[in-house]
Amino acid sequence: MTDAPKSRLRPATIAAHAAGTTDKASGGVVPPVHFATTFARDADYQPVNPDNVYLRSHNENVRVAEKVLNALEAAEDTLLFASGMAAIAAVFRTVPNGASVLVQSQIYWGTTKWIRDFCTRRQIMLHEIEASDINAFSQACKNHRPALAWVETPSNPWLRITDIAATAKAAHAVGAKLIVDSTAASPVLSHPLSLGADIVMHSATKGINGHSDVLAGSLATADPDATIWSMIREDRDCAGAVLGPMEAWLLTRGMRTLPLRMREMSRNAMALAEFLADHPKVEAVLYPGLSSHPGHAVAARQMTGGFGPLLSFIIKGGAPEALRVAGRLQVFHRATSLGGVESLVEHRHTIEPHTGIPEGLLRVSVGIEDVRDLEADLSQALGQ
């Protein structure tokens, strides 16, 4: 495994073998957890291990997880953070006061809220645009000449699809960096860096970990020598937005089954999307795997192996009926988040009531259960 050329290894092999990492000291096939926060120096006051001085910047378990994710992402460098929001914050803290940024509208509400607050504090001009409309996005780039552009595809909870290659071209034409939040796709289903993105971000809490027991975020780049990347690395190390050893170890363990989980979740989600699309009580299904989805052709071109576990559907009857259906579900857990092995349902209007989310929209994260059980649960909850 460790001697095989990287180009010959496919994602399932990279993940299952944790990118070739073993415990060299014991011979164990599973890397150990290193809890030490500080590291010894010799009699000449030189580090015993020159790579390790203090845990905040030198975390062996984080290195292992970054190595796996870097290989899956086909990146040149990857950094892990204490959360997805910490990763987002590190990116935006590279933007100078008074600059301009372009951010896709109607994405994850936590991202939008933090960016709005941050830009207000720093006198940064924020322009929100529907990035799935490439003409509107391109014109906004020309009009505002942003320092960076931020897009999310597939978007949460609208499942809108943004053409990464086209947005990268538009951003680069005005000197902007393109950052892509690819959380809903994971590195298994989409590779934004290969399509021209400068940095790809994930809330690793979600599908990358896959077990709803780790809070983490990641950034990966194709250009580790870029000034923005050096700033991000320094910000993480100095500000301390780092991942702990146990969380990094759990993240590595979760990634070992990432391709398998994503394949099964995508299959289940596709089957449920088709089932819901034909249900008389469902007004609309938002899932890029459906040929009726406006972004289907782009998604089919830039996603491989499936369309992900996230889908939304709008129930006829508004909030009362949507809440009734959510309350009747027995297999789906009523909870926030996505990408875990268990299926979740969320009434997004309750969570973000002032953002234009339809009152009848339910967002589901489809897990790895038997799809027949999931379909039966939705069927009994919806009724006839």
Sign of the alpha-carbon dihedral angle for 276, 131, 66, 232: negative
Q: Which sequence positions are flagged as catalytic?
A: 56, 108, 181, 206
Q: Which residues pair with 201 in a beta bridge?
A: 181, 219
By CB atoms closer than 10 A (0-12, 13-18, 19+), residue 276 is buried
CA–CA dist 330, 326 (Å, integer):
9
Q: Which residues pair with 149 in a beta bridge?
A: 102, 178
Cβ atoms of 75 and 100 within 8 Å: the answer is no
Cβ atoms of 249 and 353 within 8 Å: the answer is no
CA–CA dist 252, 274 (Å, integer):
33
Cβ atoms of 224 and 191 within 8 Å: the answer is no
Secondary structure E strands in the chain: 77-81, 100-104, 125-129, 148-152, 177-181, 199-202, 217-221, 282-286, 310-315, 333-334, 344-347, 361-365
